[in-house]
Amino acid sequence: MKTTDFVKMSLETSKNFVMALIADMKDAPLTFPTAKGGNHPLWILGHLTLAEASILHGFVLGEENPLAGWKELFDGGTESVADASRYPAFDELVAKFEKVRARTLSVLGGLSDEDLDRKIETEHADLCPGTEDIAARRLRFGTVGKCFMMLSLHPAIHFGQVADARRSLGRKPLFA
């Protein structure tokens, strides 16, 4: 197996787990995971989409993020609110996530194992809020391979939040 095949498998596995939970919350996408708030599934869906576009376009491709207009809604550090009118519609977010993911897989499909070792520009703190320290950005995003690793891990990081939102509604686990 090539490394890029493993990366693709990781991307698809983490996506499938979190998207199954998110899809199950279509009827209640603004449900907070705790009584004290947290990230609801609609925010998580938009956040994952924005973050993937930011990493892919900003770091890997060195382009402007086509979803930069979503930063005030979905960037790391923003707070989700229970007002659906502030967000794009659920189905629009799902479609946009799928479009961004298709682009991610297309770019990955054109890479060799050697390409994954290519160092990338990590000086732009705006591409990854919460990592103002350049050394921390390099640790997470310093090569193309590290960027794809973060794209694989990121949905798994938010998986538990969606699972908790489901449980707050009394829903049984989807994965046992």
CATH code at position 31: 1.20.120.450
- 3-state secondary structure at position 18: helix
Q: pLDDT-based confidence at 5, cuts 50/70/90?
A: very high
Helix, strand or coil for residue 154? Answer: helix
Residue 16 covered by a domain:
yes
In a domain, 120, yes or no: yes
Instruction: Transcribe 102-120 into DSSP letters.
Output: HHHHHHHHT--HHHHT-B-
What domain count does the chain have? 1
Answer yes or no: is 131 within a domain: yes
**Can you tell me the distance from the alpha carbon of 85 to that of 107, in angstroms, rounded to the nearest whole number?**
33
List residues bridging with 34 in a β-sheet. 37
**How far apart (Å, rounded) are the C-alpha atoms in residues 119 and 58?**
13
28, part of any domain: yes
pLDDT digits (tens, 9 = 90+) for 117-157: 999 875 554 555 555 665 665 667 789 999 999 999 999 99
Place of tokens 């890479």: 111
Tell me phi and psi for residue 119, to 5 degrees. Answer: -70, 145
pLDDT digits over 43-71, tens only?
999 999 999 999 999 889 988 999 999 99
